[in-house]
Structure 1
């Protein structure tokens, strides 16, 4: 019985009386980038790509036929025209938009046969960067231009105030502000961005430190450690949030030695930054060491202060060899 039914279906397909339908594929496309919707068929005289009721792209009579193309796809679609004859009728979609999500139908035919395949397109705009900073009485974590919307949580208990908005491109901006007490500013604060299924997609951390030295001495600046991330990372040290002291792209050989404002700066293979021959007039201030990967941003802010001349004199008098 089964064999007879299989033969009947096969004969109907061969006679062109039954369309051949292929199982769905799923593709993730990234906002503003180029994406390829895969489709293969040996029938390629007529090709239509649909997203629901809208025509995304048509090809027949040996050329693109875009008179009935939906306006939202204008100038953004193409086929691999040099590969159609070998069966590649995949759709190239450029400048991907959030509204490009959907179930696409790839229809192809010749005079007596046709083929349909379906591609489910999910569009994402992943987090590119997160801003984390202290204000007077809060610590704030924020990002923008992401999709779909995510949630923010903290490693510290509290009642954060959350704000989110959606722009005309359907991209979301998220902000979470956590109240803190003055004596809590030396804690390590971490905010987590989570997708709808609870998975952490990005983490940002901020910690403050301080050190006090005498003029001419060496200061060690702490940088964030790896939290188990893999892959490429960047490290940058700035002074008072503006002047770059040192940068490292995760691939340059270590150690790194350089001059900065007459001070000797060194980044060791262990990830420590030392500043030698510091002068209170030029080098007192806030040093920010930032470690960044594709899924994280970690910031350590160190206040370098200098002892007064009197304190420095007494230190040298009593403790000098």
Structure 2
């Protein structure tokens, strides 16, 4: 009977402990930001002692009615302790802030415990993609924790599976990770978009960067359109057109979609077609290419929230001058053709008019001469019923 009683008592104790156990709270602190570890207890007027432990080591202690410990890294909300708030504020979170914390609240009547599991994450703040050489494209980021995941893809898909890449990950002195990855172009002559995707360890962030490289030729004095299309569903972005020649970078146009502000440094030579911009066409329209001085790389960059899209176009401008072949040049040719056609039509009409009026005048003069000849003929020739003698007398 005693064993049965002891078994029932033990079962009830275990059941009570399971039901009364407070589940762990999971908190993710952002690196270098303040972070709150929650802890609450039943408010009381009794004396209260609050203790915080990290990995079993006491890191903070506070007794109600006394001054808060002079600790610049952590503190309580002392004004809220009387309402049962024992939450701990971690200031300027670091990698060392990770771990399992225990909040213990002692009163004259009870002891309450709760646990907080803390993760620390240094968010991805930037991403970079560039052609490191004629054969490789490189993607990188830094200041990340924990170590992120990096993947590559192409559009269109050039071969089965992802492109072969080489990736390096290394921590710095603060424990934050830098990541660099290089992928070899499958075909240097193909116009494929290479996309690099960096995903945080806890999948709270996904950053993408893409690069498309092209080549085109132009003629000195020609009107040229350098193509660039915006990615779909891109909002609150910054568009930047730059020109690079012999290692020197020059800004052409910068546009901010949020306030629709435009800065054009080449206002006399380059512009955007605002009729096409609404359809996602942000191509650069250049008037009168100036020979080799404008041979170089034109880069169109879209920078948005957790995304970057780059189109690089290598433009080779020849020295020979030719008539404009497209864009405004075509419009000028059409206008010239219409003017020439009108002039030819006027000349033909004038010629036909003169020819018609000349024929009409000659016809009138001929008719007059015939009338005069007929009159003279009528005077010289005697009538058939007139005697010959009368004419003879008259002549004499």
Per the TM superposition, whether the score is higher than 0.5 is yes
**CA–CA separation in structure 1 for the residues paired with 2:238 and 2:39:** 39
Of 49, 54, 57, the residue aligned with 1:54 is 57
Instruction: Tell me if structure 2 keeps the 8 A contact 1:43–1:108.
Output: no
Matched with 2:90 is: 93
Judging changes above 3 Å, is the alpha-carbon distance between structure 1 residues 57 and 242 closer, same or farther for their aligned structure 2 residues? farther
* C-alpha distance in structure 2 between counterparts of 1:108 and 1:34, whole Å: 23
Paired position in structure 1 for 2:287: 277
SS at match of 1:106: strand
Match of 1:245 in 2: 252
Give the conservation status (yes or no) of the 8 Å contact 2:230–2:281: no
Q: Does 1:286 align with 2:297?
A: yes
If each structure's strand is expressed as a fraction of its own residues, which one has the higher value? 1
Give a deviation string over 1:92-123, Cα, whole Å, max 9, x none: 21221122111111222222222222111111
Q: Indicate the structure with greater helix content.
A: 2
Taking structure 2 as the reference length, what is the TM-score of the superposition? Answer: 0.64
TM-aligned CA deviation for residue 264 of structure 1: 4.6
Q: Say if 1:287 and 1:62 are closer, same or farther in 2 by CA, change over 3 A.
A: farther
Give 5+ residue unaligned stretches, structure 2.
1-7, 155-161, 338-396
Within-5 A mapping of 1:94-133: 94-133=91-130
Q: Deviations over 1:131-187 (max 9, x none)?
A: 211122211112112111123222154432222212232211112112225634632
Equivalence map 1:7-22=2 (5 Å): 21-22=21-22
Indicate if the aligned counterparts of 1:238 and 1:288 stay in contact, CA closer than 8 A.
yes
Determine the C-alpha separation between the residues in 1 that align with 2:43 and 2:289: 76
Does residue 31 of the first structure (1) align with residue 31 of the second (2)?
A: yes
TM-score by length of 1: 0.77
Select between 208-217 and 153-162 the one with higher mean Cα deviation: 208-217
Is 1:235–2:245 an aligned residue pair? no
Q: Select which of 160, 164, 170 maps to 1:165.
A: 170
The CA deviation at 1:53 is 2.5
Give the count of matched residue pairs. Answer: 299
Larger radius of gyration: 2
Q: Deviations over 1:217-268 (max 9, x none)?
A: 2524404313x56x643333323273333334432248x4745353353363
**Deviations, residues 18-62 of structure 1 (Å, cap 9, x unaligned):** xx7532211111111121222222348222222112333322143
Shift, 1:291, TM fit: 2.0
Shift in CA distance, 143/51, structure 1 to aligned 2, threshold 3 Å: same
Contact 2:218 2:315 in 1 (8 A): yes
**SS of corresponding position for 1:148:** coil
2:389 matched to which residue of 1? none
Q: C-alpha separation between the residues in 1 aligned to 2:42 and 2:325?
A: 89
- What residue in structure 1 maps to residue 132 of structure 2? 135
CA RMSD of aligned residues (A): 3.7
SS in 2 for 1:126: coil
Retained in 1: the 8 A contact 2:251–2:265? no
The answer on 1:186 being equivalent to 2:203 is no
Deviation at 1:204, TM superposition (A): 1.5
Distance in 2, matches of 1:314 and 1:197, equals 54
| SS of residue in 1 equivalent to 2:126 | coil
Q: Taking structure 1 as reference, are residues 83 and 218 closer, same or farther at Cα in structure 2, changes over 3 Å only?
A: farther
Q: 1:220 to 1:169 in 2, by over 3 A?
A: same
Which fold has the larger relative contact order, with Cα–Cα distance below 8 Å and residues 6 or more apart in sequence? 1
